[in-house]
Structure 1
Amino acid sequence: MRSRWIVLTCGIALALPGALAGCGKSEFLAGGKLHFTQGRPERALELFEKAVAEQPRNAEAHLWYARALAELERDEEAAAELKTTVELDALQQEMVDNTLLSYWSRRYNSALTFVQAGENARAEGDEALAVQQLERAEDRLRRAAVFTPDSVQNFSNLGKVLFQLGRRDEAMDYFKQAKQMSAGKPRLQAFLFTLFKHLGEQALQSNERASIERALVLMHDAEGLPAEPGPMLELHFNLGSAYYALSELDTLRTADHLVRAAEYYDKVLAQDPGDVMALENLAYVYSEQGRHEEALAVGQKRLDLEPWSEETHLLMVRLHTAAKNNRPANAHLLFSQMLRQGVRLPLDSIRADAGKWGPSADALKMLRDRGAPEERRSYTVGMTAHECWYYWTEGRVYFFQEGQEEFRIAFQGISREKLAELLAG
């Protein structure tokens, strides 16, 4: 999954008018500007220090002094000098804001470069390099915060870096602050939704209880933010999955977690009744709660949607087994085996083959009453041969052993187009 970061490019001109705050000209200031613009910040800093000492109330001198400090990454000193600039001349607020934003964007964008390098290194298996690059990203983001301490991007991305470094508790504190700061800012809220959802999904990949609990915190934070229906639907599914996973790890609260899992799968199905994974998981949740009739009803919906799926029939096997319905469980088990290993038989010989079982065979009666099926398969277990007749478009399947009906399974009939696809496979 691609990383989600906001990259800012600030093309902010740093040139200023020749004088500020009504102070007289300073040779130190003029010389410092020359060195600064020619890329010699160390020499510029020496001259700006003298300019400030010479004219301590010259706002322009403090502004250029702050710039030189920032170029040398003495960021806290630079921020203090910028504050002094405004105190000396409030009219220079815009100039100071531009300077703050310029140095913030440099630190921030360099942090994103280190993050990408860290993620690439981790993907290539070089964990030592990954940690090194992510720690550099942390440093750059903390420096960026010196210039813009109220930036949601700083808090959220610093949280992400700390999360990737395994410092999860620290990360959660930054995420909490970022969410609070994003109130009333739709663009930032959208960014945070995507970030929280992504990190929650990552944490959910672990089988550790602490990681899943962290995933829940992140995903609940995302849930409280505005989002498009599609991503919110995915989030609700993942929340259901997190609670379902936690029900196995936090055994003292298994019942509570199963209730929450069912709530979120229900939310998904309210928006998308055809979500087969939500149906499957909800059926399992109901089964574990002992709500076997409801579990089988949900499983039947899954069966109606994909009767050709081996996974669907294995689901029904487990649900019926849990409900102690052995005969239907065996029927679905045979169906799954027939789908996986059954041999297709020709339809043109079906009447002759059925006749071999005698005039009283159920198979022969089925032919008279329903006509030939749309597909026919056989499967042998040990010395026992089973034959299956599929009336796909009618939603009926019959199993025979030596011409006598063993089982039948009903589902919603499929379309002619889907039938053609199945028969061609």
Structure 2
Amino acid sequence: MKASLSYLLLVQVVIVLPASGCAAARPRPVEKSAVSGQPASPAAEPLATSARALEHYLRARLHELAGDYQQATYEMRKALLYDDGSAHLHTALGQYYAGQGLWEKASREAARAHRLDPRYLPALMLQAVALLRAGKKEQAAERLQRVLQIDGKNIEAAIRLAQLYLDLDRKQQAEQVLQRMTRANPESAEGFRRLGDLAFERGDEKKAESYFRRALQLEPADTRTIEVLAGLLERQGRYREAIAVFEDALEYSPENPGYMAYMAGLYLKAGDRASARAYFEQLRASDPRNARLIAYEYSKLNMHDEAIGELKKLLQAHPNLNAERLLLAILYEERKQWELALAELEHIPEKSRVHLNALINRGYCLLNSKRYQQAETVLLQALAKASQDDDRGRIWRYLASLWSKTGKVDEGVRRLDEALARHPQLLDLVEAKASLLVDGGRADAGIAVLRRAIEKNPRSVQLLYSLGAMLEKAGRVPESIAAMRRVLDLEPNNASALNFIGYTLADQKQNLDEAEQLVRRALLLQPGNGAITDSLGWVLYQKGQYRQALELLRQADRLSPGEAVIIMHIGDALLKLGRLQQARREYRRALEADPEPRDRRQIVERLRRLKGEGRS
């Protein structure tokens, strides 16, 4: 009688429990897709043909419910002693192994299940995941293709296969898989989201928008897609439409401070400061520390005075907020107010979680203040503490700049080579070495360093962008533009590359219509960016539209104060408008902004010509 009651209890448990699956951290359902929760396929056979096998199978599921996967595995193995011919039981055991990270055993069980029933989808899916874990991507793709041949509506298989093709850089095949899947499953929001991501990656924003809107029709509460679509519209300068979309995010998460701050930022970009202020006031009222979010939104638009004001008020009330103090220092750095930045950074204690960042930024400020010995000491101290590649990369780039400015090129190259031997995967080191060589007058050697690295990493946007910049420094302009176009092939929405090409074309007085189109595109992606605003002003200057150019250049100077090149461009526009005295003042102001040597020579030459014109 006890055995019968136990058996009935286990049957009742299994009726309400999901079956196990093949996720890495914890088993997931085999009968349902890990992505959509929809049935993957009908079971190919009964769970087990033996009553004893079924009893152990049910016990395994009960242990799974209790979180005891080792005991669940033991019971599933016992089940197989009584029914070794069940593809379902072999797959279930494989999924338990997978849940414990035992992927070789999982793969063996999946292979046994596949031999027993070549059309059993959970076994094929488990095989695919195991092959992916082993790095056998082509074989994994073959298994996923087989799943889709058997069940063309299998959402999980389609999503996995599309992602696998993306990893293999076969974007067209990924898109074809997703298109077939959405035709078979027109209610799959995930499929349309993925199609939207792909369309956006290749620069087809119109199609991306239509896919994202379709996904939202299917899942209106999907805040991730709301965020992506609002961001896409924002990048196109369609701020009111972005606001309308993002209102839905606030409806589903009305107390989310990040959402409220983002909405305020959209209103700022739309020119509606009153609505932005209303959101900011609501943020302050709910928690004064939300001032950090307000400051961030202001800083994105280069409204540094407003951002600094928010943070100073916050820190007066809460002086121990070290992350906010670091942000305040960074805003001072943006304005080239090095001493003010240093004063804030020195207040961040060593025990703070942002102390390493504060140390790196101190080195950067000292470097720009031309206190080279102190800068080197601080940066080497930071390097000794850094454990993350991103931090190490920043430090090495600053050190390379320091060694270039102090004439220690050979020593710097030696130290960078030693670091590369320890961290060969760190592309920032390659970039730092190339930059040091180019700045040290050995441009061919620096460019060769980058080209060798690109041979090993042909799709590295970082290396290709650096190559373009170094080629431009070396005066090899056509090659630099070609390198930047390769960046755009990989990332059509790379604002820095768009701006680089547009500005360089304008500087060369070439293809000015294309230059304007590229720079305007970059400005839509990064509104409020002073450098890009300067580029657009410079394009219009080269087109002879001096008044419009001057207006943009003055705006760029407000957005990025103290930039010598921007100030020089203002002088150029004033000169063309016949305002010689004002032009002279701007050129002198540009010299006071500590320009790079190449820019300094150009400014001095302009002043010399003006002086000669004054005599005549």
Bigger radius of gyration: 1
What range is the shorter-chain TM-score in? 0.3 to 0.5
Query: Which of the two has greater helix per residue?
Result: 2
Structure 2-normalised TM-score? 0.30
Structure 1-normalised TM-score? 0.41
Query: Which of the two has greater strand per residue?
Result: 1
